[in-house]
Structure 1
């Protein structure tokens, strides 16, 4: 933890960006619990729940082919402010969702809200390698994951109680207000980096990116490795667990909040415990550990309190898996292509998450048990680990140097 504090003390831009992340992510989880609480109260089918979960990721997939080229062409601060503005409007508009008749509007708002959020995230992740390097970049990625997890923990937990006490509309209003604060903080931030104006149009830039990926196969391999983390898209699974197993013993919003919060506790402490231990070779074991943790979760799933406890273990390995595989990609690509490669990387990751979310609903609707669905998700990480071990033997992957 000391390393993260020192990094924030010395890197002013990162410190402000991290604070903005904390505020905006915290607000976002208010609406997330509210949305799933609203869906369960509407008594929609498992496929509708899964479709909403899928939309959270699908929006990022659709805009990814163009976002990278735009990121490499536009000044980051200007772009980030525009994206937060879209999030404010879309989030505030969620207050107008009242019944099943408004599902189409809900789909549209979630799509635009999450497309902007994904675009913002990709912009920031392509900005970090331009202001940080080496172990600082790895620590910044880990810090980003910790902030996401901490916001997730507090946001989900507090939101569960807030939705229970005040209703979903207050949650949406609080979410929108959080984005307003984030916008104000970003306006006053000075980001001093060299901006290289791209003379090519977007389509030529896309073509050159594909040529670069073809000449640099390790970039594609590392993008696929990172995409395996998308199999931790548990939102639809948790919503169905609450609906099927826990609704009779605890309020829906409280169950959703506590389950997400317990997993997020693991997401927070994982990188703190594993940060100094992890390296290229040991990442393989993190893949296997993630799979085993999900299998244990499947075994205890019907017991709410055991599920809460095991959720911490499920989250424990995820952050390190995400941050280290992301840093490996950043470390092994040309700076000229940061925005575009990061965008395509996010597209693959979000595609995996969207596919996972949809299949959870599809399989549940076709009478496959939630336990067996979780087992299949765990198997994905075993395959991911095998694939990663093959990659590090086949390709020359740079190690991440730690100096802190």
Structure 2
């Protein structure tokens, strides 16, 4: 189904708009937070600390969040999570620039804000199959993925420019406003209790005990679902290391140009991540398939390696586009498979398993990448660590799935 056809669905359209508004605020402040980290004297460790603050809280709270999403109205979770995130951003505005406020305080507040997204992300993923039929899930995820990428590119580019002129506080104020608007849009959705309003009619086809470990045990026994749930780990490891390297490259610019450079580099990568989902959606062989997952992973790892070895601006742009393309295709393909392979009453917990896996991987990729870069006295060490760790994880995941049963299709 085309994007206009999907957007004719009023309920999906509201979910799409709410997510787009919320994402714009997130990426608008992405550069502001990165700039604040680079302004500290902690170097790449400060950058890695911000990445950890963006990722670790979601991993820690994923088990609890997944159970909550499978036991409560998902609309209420989306509304409450958005309003609480707006409140946290207002606190960030109050403390940024204050005397004695450094990277540690900023990272702590980012930690709290991202902890709340551990609830909203699985809730949005679990709500999608309640709003569109199974045959449209691939197209819906491709549209959401392309929207994510377009908003990413627009948000980081605009955020870089605005942060350069009005400072981090102005960018954070816009972020807080977007969360409030998103909450109002989420509130206009119908009630989305687990197992209700499922368009496939099979939400209760598999009854699983309402705890996180039971959901994991069921996934462990199901090779296709296991592969879908863990598919983002290799590219997340690579992304973490490359993310640190990208900030190191931007830091070579003059202080006045760091925010603009970060915005442009993230924006180019975001454009690539929009092309990936749309390209994969055009081909049956790639759309929602294991082959599509493998190809997307390979493209990502190759692009991160290229980004690590080149320094010419044109080649950096090419590597960034391919990096984003592979990641976007991986995200959409694995998410679609999760939604198609999982009963709705279990979907919140499986989305939480997915979230926990790739956020921990990205956290490790960034933190260990910064350590390696420091040890070898070269920022490129972060990129090489990310690409190498991603390649190893890719091979181990393929071996794991193969030993669990027949190859999933």
TM-score, normalising length: structure 1: 0.88
| Residues 187/221 of structure 1: CA separation in 2 closer, same or farther (3 Å cut) | closer
Tell me the equivalent position of 1:44. Answer: 42
Conserved 8 A contact 1:291-1:380:
no
In structure 2, what is the equivalent of residue 79 of structure 1? Answer: 77
| Aligned equivalent of 2:291 | 281
- Residue aligning to 2:132: 132
Runs of at least 5 residues in structure 1 that lack an aligned partner in the other structure? 400-404
Instruction: Indicate if the aligned counterparts of 2:209 and 2:215 stay in contact, CA closer than 8 A.
Output: no
List per-residue Cα deviations over 1:119-177 (Å, max 9, x = no partner). 20111101112333434112222222211111110000011110111111101111111
Q: Decide whether aligned partners of structure 1 residues 313 and 216 sit closer, same or farther in structure 2, where only a CA change above 3 A counts.
A: closer
The 8 Å contact of residues 27 and 155 in structure 1, kept in 2 or not, is answered as yes
Provide TM-score, normalisation by structure 2.
0.87
Matched, 1:242 2:241: no
- Which residue of 1 is the match for residue 6 of structure 2? 7
Counterparts of 1:330-369 in structure 2 under 5 Å?
330-369=339-378
- Judged with a 3 Å threshold, the aligned counterparts in structure 2 of structure 1 residues 310 and 227 are, in CA distance, closer, same or farther, namely closer
Contact map agreement 2:72 2:194 (CA 8 A) in 1: no
Q: CA deviation at 1:111?
A: 1.0
In structure 2, distance between residues paired with 1:82 and 1:270 = 32
Per-residue deviation at 1:398? 6.1
Distance 1:158 1:216 in 2: 43
For residues 359 and 192 of structure 1, the distance between their equivalents in structure 2, rounded to whole angstroms, comes to 40
* Corresponding position of 1:254: 260
2:156–2:267 Cα contact (<8 Å) kept: yes
Number of matched pairs: 391
- Contact kept? 1:157, 1:254, Cα under 8 Å: yes
What is the match of residue 120 of structure 1? Answer: 120
* Residue among 297, 311, 316 paired with 2:320: 311
C-alpha distance in 2 between matches for 1:226 and 1:41? 31
Residue in structure 2 matched with residue 263 of structure 1 by the alignment: 269
Change (3 A) 1:368 1:329: farther
Contact residue 272 and residue 321 of structure 2 kept, 8 A: yes
- Identify if the C-alpha distance between structure 1 residues 191 and 368 changes in structure 2 by more than 3 Å, giving closer, same or farther: farther
Determine the C-alpha separation between the residues in 2 that align with 1:283 and 1:235: 21
Q: Secondary structure at the match of 1:246?
A: coil
Tell me the CA shift for residue 87 of structure 1.
0.7
CA separation of 1:191 and 1:122: change in aligned 2, threshold 3 A = same
- Deviation digits for residues 289-348 of structure 1, max 9, x if unmatched? 222122221121x33454234311221221111111222223223333111111122111
**Of the candidates 300, 314, 329, which is equivalent to residue 320 of structure 1?**
329
Aligned 8 A contact 2:231 2:334 in 1? yes
2:306 alignment partner in structure 1: 296
* Cα gap change, 1:152 to 1:65, in 2 (>3 Å): same
Provide the aligned C-alpha RMSD in A. 2.7
Shift in Å, 1:364 = 2.2
Partner residue in 2 for 1:159: 159
Q: What is the CA deviation profile of residues 32-58 of structure 1, one whole-angstrom value per residue up to 9, with x for unaligned ones?
A: 111111222233332122011111000
Does the 8 A contact of 1:142 with 1:319 survive in 2?
A: no
Structure 2 runs not aligned, ≥5 long: 197-203
Q: How far is 1:8 from its partner?
A: 1.7
Deviation, 1:81, is: 0.9
